[in-house]
Amino acid sequence: MEQDALFTAVYSLAEATYAFSDVDMGQPFSWRKHAEGVRLGLIGTHQELQDLAAKVAAQRSQNGAPTTLVQQVLGQVHTAYRELQVTLLGVSDAEFDQEPAAGEWPLRIILGHVFEAERTFFPLIISGLAQQKAGAQRPFAFPAGEVERVLGSNDAFYDIIDNQPLATIRQQYDEFHQRTRTELADLTDEQFLGPSPVWWEEEEYSLQYRLHRFEAHLRQHLVQIEKTLRLLGRPETEASRFLRLIFRALASVENATLGTPEFGEDQKQVLAETIQTRTAVLQQVVADCRRLETAVNENNTQAIEQITAANPALVNASGQNGLPLLMNALYQRQTAVVETLRNAGAEINVFAAAALGDLTRLQALAERWSGYLNLFAKDGFTPLQLACYFNQETAALWLIEQGADVNAVAKNKMQIAPIHATATHGNQTILRALLEKGAEVNAAQEGGYTAVHQAAHRNNVPMAQLLLTFGANPHQPDANGQTALQLAQAEGNEAVTAVLEEQNES
């Protein structure tokens, strides 16, 4: 592969980050003044490459060496090629040979087909140039054996695309690609617009058409490769999308210097060093966030203190479930971890404030934007549901009074409403406030369970009585056909059974 310092730096960045999860992309990192996560390390690199490409192109034009027509078309081909490179990053040899679905080509067949076609496109151009120069009679014929004369043994080529590992094929394809750029970059417009030999089409096409076929054919099958990767369980990710932008921008820099490599050489070196340094930082940030998540899960406050002391911004890292580590600690009831994270400066968002019962923070956030009251967290819960679940009475009552939706259904598999969250512990004050504000007493969560099912399961007589007062139906079946009364009877909860039977008799 083309191994100048800038390409090497960009390729190393891609190798280091292509497997980053979408959560990794949001981990704390700043590019210049933009503190929008690791993703800014990638999109910032894209911006820097684009800036360099524009500067070099302008410098080239000002020095009287604008890109020629053939160089512009070669640039289009090169951009598609760089996108192909990054799209195949991380593909294993097993995936390379795997049939993605019945009747669909494996990646080996697709890439081999692309390479094989270009292996004919190039000699067509070379032959056309030679016949132009020799003044041959038109239409030009495509001489037998021309592909092997220009590019070597067909048998050796087919052994590579049919039998060799992906890395070998990519290396051979890269050498071929760089050769086409090098040998064609200095063509004049007059040569480029001239005819090429007649091939299977049985009509004459210009050399310009032949060269455009490189890109058009490659992009056609790049779409096929993307579809195949999805079928192989390798969908696009945020990281892969950003890396594709970066490789396009890299191609823009390389295209701006095609035929005039001396332009921008110092600037390319400086940017390469910047990208190399950034790559190491991004790797460290993601690795430290993974270590921090492990420390939270293992209740290791010492490790948390060490990691956040080295990089204070990581206190606001997220777990791979997409939730802030503070929320993960709260869900796991790890009081010491929660305290450690708070002491290290963890941000208290509206969901953490509700779970912690931090009324002051809730009020401050609601003052900024009332929409916070009914916002859904990444795991699908609202602040009121969280305050109810964590039995934060003061916070829950305040949210109810402020108009938080008492019938909001969680946007996740559980499909709970605040009444179900409250029923897990049975706080009578919160439960009554919800019911008085219009909470649906017989609302069913996932599995068809109602709040009175929970009261029956917990043998909670006061909760059952309160729910019955507001119209709870002890005969409403769950998804398995079991009513709250039947559940209480089956579990031997005699006290609540008596209350529910009394309701039945009345």
Q: What pLDDT digit, counting tens, does each position of 261-287 carry? A: 888 899 999 999 999 999 999 999 999
Give yes or no for residue 430 having a pLDDT over 90.
yes
Could you tell me what percent of the chain has a pLDDT over 70? 99
Backbone angles phi, psi at 195, to 5 degrees: -80, 160
Separation in Å, CA 89 to CA 119, 244, 293: 23, 11, 27
Backbone angles phi, psi at 156, to 5 degrees: -65, -40
Q: What is the pLDDT of residues 52-66, one digit of tens each?
A: 999 999 999 999 889
Tell me what pLDDT residue 505 has: 61
- The CA-based dihedral angle spanning residues 344, 349, 351, 352, taken in that order and rounded to the nearest 10 degrees: 20
What global pTM score does this model have?
0.93
Asked whether the beta carbons of 117 and 210 are under 8 A apart, the reply is no
Q: Is 45 exposed, middle or buried (0-12, 13-18, 19+ CB in 10 A)?
A: buried
Q: What is the pLDDT of residues 343-366, one digit of tens each?
A: 999 999 999 999 999 999 999 999
All residues at 6 or more sequence positions from 64 whose CB lies less than 8 Å from its CB, including other chains = none
Q: How many residues in total does the chain contain?
A: 506
Tell me what pLDDT residue 40 has: 98
Could you tell me what percent of the chain has a pLDDT over 90? 95
> What is the C-alpha to C-alpha distance for residues 27 and 14, in angstroms, rounded to an integer?
17
> What is the C-alpha to C-alpha distance for residues 166 and 97, in angstroms, rounded to an integer?
9
**pLDDT-derived band at 441, boundaries 50, 70, 90:** very high
Asked whether the beta carbons of 398 and 362 are under 8 A apart, the reply is yes
User: In this structure, what DSSP letter does residue 68 have?
Assistant: P
Give yes or no for residue 458 having a pLDDT over 90.
yes
Q: What is the mean pLDDT of residues 438-465?
A: 98
Asked whether the beta carbons of 350 and 375 are under 8 A apart, the reply is yes
Strand partners, 34: 31
Asked whether the beta carbons of 324 and 337 are under 8 A apart, the reply is no
Q: What is the pLDDT of residues 375-398, one digit of tens each?
A: 999 999 999 999 999 999 999 999
Give yes or no for residue 1 having a pLDDT over 80.
no
> What is the C-alpha to C-alpha distance for residues 302 and 314, in angstroms, rounded to an integer?
15
Helix (H) or strand (E) holding 52, with range, is: helix 39-62
Residue 51 identity: D
All residues at 6 or more sequence positions from 127 whose CB lies less than 8 Å from its CB, including other chains = 140, 142, 143, 146, 150, 196, 197
Tell me what pLDDT residue 506 has: 55
**pLDDT-derived band at 504, boundaries 50, 70, 90:** low
Separation in Å, CA 210 to CA 121, 157, 214, 216: 6, 21, 7, 10
Q: What is the mean pLDDT of residues 127-155?
A: 95
Tell me what pLDDT residue 502 has: 87
Tell me what pLDDT residue 402 has: 98
Backbone angles phi, psi at 232, to 5 degrees: -85, 5
Of the candidates 320, 329, 326, 331, the residue with the CA atom closest to the CA atom of residue 346: 326
Q: Is 228 exposed, middle or buried (0-12, 13-18, 19+ CB in 10 A)?
A: buried
All residues at 6 or more sequence positions from 225 whose CB lies less than 8 Å from its CB, including other chains = 84, 87, 88, 107, 110, 111
Superfamily for domain range 92-233: dinb family like domain (1.20.120.450)
Residue 272 identity: A
Q: What is the pLDDT of residues 301-354, one digit of tens each?
A: 999 999 999 999 999 999 999 999 999 999 999 999 999 999 999 999 999 999
> What is the C-alpha to C-alpha distance for residues 340 and 331, in angstroms, rounded to an integer?
15
Q: What is the mean pLDDT of residues 470-485?
A: 98
Tell me what pLDDT residue 503 has: 74
305: Cα within 13 Å, side-chain hemisphere: 8
Q: What is the pLDDT of residues 196-208, one digit of tens each?
A: 999 998 899 999 9
Q: What is the mean pLDDT of residues 101-130?
A: 98
Give yes or no for residue 3 having a pLDDT over 80.
no
Give yes or no for residue 162 having a pLDDT over 80.
yes
How remote is the C-alpha of 91 from its chain's centroid? 17
Structural domain boundaries of the chain? Answer: 92-233
> For the chain, how far is it from start to end, CA to CA, in angstroms?
84
